[in-house]
Structure 1
Amino acid sequence: AKAEKQRAKLIADQAEAHRNKTKAARTRRNERVAEKRAAFTGVAVAAEEPKKSKK
């Protein structure tokens, strides 16, 4: 019984650590994607503005 409780706690702790790690990775990825989108839209807007002003 004692070993079963210890094993269950170990598995639960490992699962929680895995969830936290995944959540952190997802957060970092979302930040990276947001930066890329902002950079891309900034470049796209800057590239489009001169074309509009030339017309």
Structure 2
Amino acid sequence: MPRKIQVTLPDRVGDDLEKWAEYEGRALANLCNYLLEAAVKAEKEKNPQWAQPSGEQK
């Protein structure tokens, strides 16, 4: 099930994200979802240990 979260951002970051989303013709929430998924994927590839379930870390 999708999880909803609330995030507080500095005004400048929020403004930049809104401009970026508008430029790409997508909703702000959609852009943020895309960016968060990409960041998590990159971090998992870089450091997969933190993504292991408890007790399975190597």
Report the TM-score when normalising by structure 1: 0.39
- Between Structure 1 and Structure 2, the one with more helix by share is 1
Give the structure with higher Rg (CA): 1
Larger relative contact order, structure 1 or 2 (CA cutoff 8 Å, min sep 6)? 2
